[in-house]
Each structure stands twice: as structure tokens, then as C-alpha cells.
Amino acid sequence: MKRAKYLLVLFVTTFVYVALSLTVGQNSMRCYRQMEDQKRIVSKQKADIQNLNTELILELTALKNDRAVIAAYARKLDYVAEGEKLVKITGLKPANNTVYETGSVIRHVEPQYVSEKLCKIASAIAGLILFIFMLMGDFKNGNLSFKKNYTTINGIPVYDVPQI
């Protein structure tokens, strides 16, 4: 039973590795949140661009089919129809052309995480430190020593085993 306590070293090593992996590792909840935020931004921009595309398709359809829209667009470009009288007013700014906001470029950002190798090294170091402390405790309590517990007679080891 005394040696079974060394299983604690394996448990602690595994626990430290799992804890590091789940909190700051490559597949951690923190990385998941960062990727979800990025997905949310991309989805919003995609929806904005789809709305703009829908508006442009409606405008194109109107320019192809509706005569009133064609005439209004032609007037914007300083065309006049037959029979219309043209009045020029000086000193006014020219009409602004519509500029469509298509969004900004979104670049993929790698999530920040600690590598798996570093998580494994940190857990191995934690397990090794615990193992060393347990060995020192066993040496101190006398449960473990490097003394020879037997004597030799003519080269044959003789152990001091209590008789039952």
C-alpha cells in the first residue's frame, strides 16, 4: 500500500496536463471563444454584403425595366428628353454619385494558445516535483534507503527475515 501512493504522481501529472489543455491549450475554451467572436464578425459582414447585393439587384432590375427609373437616372447624368426645357443654375455643387460601402477586409487571426508540447512539459515537471518530494519524505521517514539489508557468507547473500 505504501507504493500505491506513487500513483498520485501519475494522477497529478494527468490532472495538470488536462487542466492546462482545457484552459490555455490549442483546443481550449478560450480558443473556442476567440474563434466564435471571429465567426460572428464574418457572419455580420456577410449579411451586410448580402443586403447590399439585394439592393443592387433591385436597382439593376429597375434600370432595365422601369422607364421612370431610367429617365430619372438619365437626368442625373445631365440628359434631357425631347420637349424638356433645360435650366442651368450656377454655383451649386454637382450631385454626388452613390458610393456603396462594401465593408472592410477581414483577415483570419490565429487564436492565442499555449502549445501542447508546453502543456505536456509543464505537467511532467509538476509530476516530477511531486515524485521528488514523496521520495524525500520516504527517505526522511526511513521507508526507503540505499543501505544493504543483508549480509553475505561466502558470496551468498543472507537476509535477516523474521521467522514465523
Determine what percent of the chain is predicted with pLDDT higher than 70: 82
pLDDT at 7 over 70: yes
pLDDT at 64 over 80: yes
Q: How many CA atoms lie within 13 A of 95 on its CB side?
A: 9
Name which of 31-40, 76-85, 124-133, 150-159 the model is least confident about: 150-159
Q: Which three cell numbers stand for residue 126?
A: 509538476
More confident residue, 154 or 68: 68
Under the banding of pLDDT at 50, 70 and 90, the label for residue 38 is very high
Residue 76 pLDDT: 78
Residue 130 pLDDT: 92
Residue 1 pLDDT: 45
Name which of 101-105, 130-134, 142-146 the model is least confident about: 142-146
- Cβ count within 10 A of residue 9: 19
Q: Which three cell numbers stand for residue 52?
A: 447590399
Mean pLDDT for the stretch of residues 3-23: 88
Residue 97 pLDDT: 65
What's the rounded Cα separation, in Å, for the pair 134 and 136? 5
Q: Tell me the C-alpha to C-alpha distance, in Å, between residue 142 and each of 9, 139, 162.
A: 20, 5, 19
More confident residue, 45 or 83: 45
DSSP 8-state symbol, 44: H
Surface-to-core class of residue 83, CB atoms within 10 Å of its CB (0-12 exposed, 13-18 middle, 19+ buried): exposed
Q: At what angle do helices 7-24 and 116-141 cross, to 10 degrees?
A: 150
Mean pLDDT for the stretch of residues 89-94: 70
DSSP H helix total and E strand total for the chain: 4, 2
